Amino acid sequence: MKRGMLEKLQKTLAQEKLIPQGGGVLVALSGGPDSMALLCGLMRLRQTMGFSLCAAHFNHGIRPAAQEDEQFCRTWCEKEKIPFFAGRADVPALAKKEGRTLEEAAREARYAFLRQAAEAAGACRIAVAHHRDDQAETVLFRLGRGSGLKGLSGMALQNGAVIRPLLFVSREEILAFLKEEAIPFCRDETNSQPCCARNRLRALLPELEKVHPGFSENVCRAAKLLLRDEEALEAWAARELAARLGPAGLCCEGFGELPQAVSSRVLRQYCAKAGLCAGLEERHVDALWRLAGRPCGRISLPGNRQAVVGNGVLSLQSALDERADPKEFCVPLAADGVLCVPDGVLELPDGRLCVRAASRPERLDALWPMGCYVRPEALEGAVVRPRRPGDRIHPIGAPGGKKLKDFYIDRKIPKERRRWPVIARGSEVLFAPGAGFSAMAELKEEDGAAVELRYLPGRQQDCSLAKAGRTGPEAIWTHKTEEKTNGGN
């Protein structure tokens, strides 16, 4: 017997464990058929599966009928007693200002609002209504752009807090569910207009179904198989990276003996750990791969960075004038048990520092070498600043402290990294990005909470993960801006 939408939704939630028991789910509600089906399906399942529900609608300021859609969503949620959040932005103006496509600007503004709404609602998951046909469109779109395995794996069932419970449900099954349950919905007239590549590709799917019956389902099956291969290669690369990563950089010995599918992923992961994500393209990775096979040399990379090879080690350095002294600054990190970091990100002269409260991680070295987890108490009175003469650090496992300068020399830290800022209390350095952190900040066995620190060199790096919100024991560390917002609660 053919399963319907509700049964497939319940099976996906249960098998994939997308929602923790007792957790809260925020549904991204546009008012269209897909999001209305998702909301109503989750409403049916929330009691038996043990989760709470709320909804959020974002007005992009693009369509004249958008105000009516917002009112429709609000009225429906009020009738069904679903907590409702609404947000809006002038996306066309944002796209023009930032030089982005309308679709890119809309997506970024929408997800920023959804993260804020989820945090305000106390929801641990954000459910979006992408379905099987959307997945097929995504894979075909990325295929046309020449994507590799990662892109052809399509959209993930879960990406952080974002979940896609309808990813195995077809558009036809969604419409059938809406009809059977007499559920109203809005129609977005722009979805049928050939105004963007997505819409034109969507119009081709019915014809492809005629050529290959079950086309969308087959494409999604292929994407799932490709995802398995991608995950295996990423895991292999992660093991290689862990074995090759040292204080001075990435060891290149025997690098050419690895399959290029693995070695290129090692390089991407190394760049990500070093804070170089934005702007890194395939041509940069290919250039890095060739550089790793040479005895010495250097290449330019995005974000005012360069890669340098020498003595069998590849390292990422600043491409800025190294002769200039670091700009002086001193920014407090925590005082009176409160993180002094609005939005979890500090903009520094030549990079960013991401700071967030977190639960104790399973792997304490997961962020190494550009980040670490430290005890919350250790940051009391700490600041981020350039290194100074007389700075000292107490390396983990060492009987006592030593000069930071000697620590850098002993660990063969490249001179460029010695210019990166440090987190310190007085002259005691708690964390030196790319080098190490102090035993005074090390998590103890009994610590259940931590503070995550990540330094991203360069001026155009992506700190979106830190902006996405905090996890874990938030009662220990809260942002001052939120303290004002929630002070009356």
Cα(431)–Cα(13) distance, integer angstroms: 40
Range of the structural domain that residue 185 is part of: 5-221
Q: How confident is the model at residue 479 (pLDDT cuts 50, 70, 90)?
A: very low
Most confident segment among 162-171, 204-213, 243-252: 162-171
C-alpha distance from residue 418 to each of 291, 313, 374, 393, 422 (Å): 23, 17, 21, 14, 9
Question: Could you tell me whether strands 383-385 and 422-425 are parallel, antiparallel, or unpaired per DSSP bridges?
Answer: antiparallel
* Encoded amino acid at 268, one letter: R
Same-domain check for residues 57 and 89? yes
Q: Is residue 273 assigned to a domain? A: yes
Q: Is residue 155 assigned to a domain? A: yes
Task: Return the closest-CA partner of residue 162 out of 110, 96, 90, 98.
Answer: 110
Same-domain check for residues 139 and 61? yes
* Encoded amino acid at 91, one letter: V
Between 57 and 191, the higher pLDDT residue: 57
List the CATH number of the domain containing 62: 3.40.50.620
Contacts of 451 (CB under 8 A, 6+ apart): 339, 355, 356, 357, 358, 373, 374, 375, 376, 379, 477
pLDDT confidence of residue 361: 84
Same-domain check for residues 168 and 258? no
Same-domain check for residues 119 and 257? no
Cα(301)–Cα(305) distance, integer angstroms: 5
Q: Is residue 257 assigned to a domain? A: yes
Same-domain check for residues 156 and 216? yes
Give me the number of domains the chain comprises.
3
Same-domain check for residues 291 and 173? no
Average pLDDT over residues 20-49: 95
Contact between 376 and 357 (Cβ < 8 Å): yes
Alpha helices for 378-467 (secondary structure H)? 404-410, 464-467
pLDDT confidence of residue 197: 67
Mean pLDDT, the chain, integer: 85
Contact between 270 and 250 (Cβ < 8 Å): yes
List the CATH number of the domain containing 308: 3.30.465.60
Average pLDDT over residues 255-273: 93
Percent over 70 (pLDDT), the chain: 88
pLDDT (tens digit per residue) in 294-322: 888 889 998 888 899 988 899 888 776 55
Continuous segment of H or E residues that includes residue 54: strand 52-59
**Three-class DSSP category at 242:** helix
pLDDT confidence of residue 342: 61
pLDDT confidence of residue 138: 92
Of 88-97, 381-390, 478-487, the one with minimum mean pLDDT is 478-487
Same-domain check for residues 63 and 211? yes
Domain final position from 293, 318, 343: 318
With b meaning 16 or more CB within 10 Å and e meaning fewer, what string describes 198-214? eeebbeebeebeeeeee
Same-domain check for residues 348 and 418? yes
pLDDT confidence of residue 85: 95
pLDDT (tens digit per residue) in 421-436: 999 999 999 999 988 8
Alpha helices for 258-381 (secondary structure H)? 260-273, 282-292
pLDDT confidence of residue 481: 29
Same-domain check for residues 11 and 98? yes
How far apart, in Å, do the first and last CA atoms of the chain sit? 51
> 74 is written with which tokens?
């609000």
Instruction: Specify the pTM.
Output: 0.65
Question: Could you tell me whether strands 84-88 and 449-457 are parallel, antiparallel, or unpaired per DSSP bridges?
Answer: unpaired
Q: Is residue 242 assigned to a domain? A: no
* Encoded amino acid at 450, one letter: A
Q: Helices 132-144 and 197-211 sit at what angle, rounded to 10 degrees?
A: 110
Q: How confident is the model at residue 236 (pLDDT cuts 50, 70, 90)?
A: very high
Same-domain check for residues 123 and 55? yes
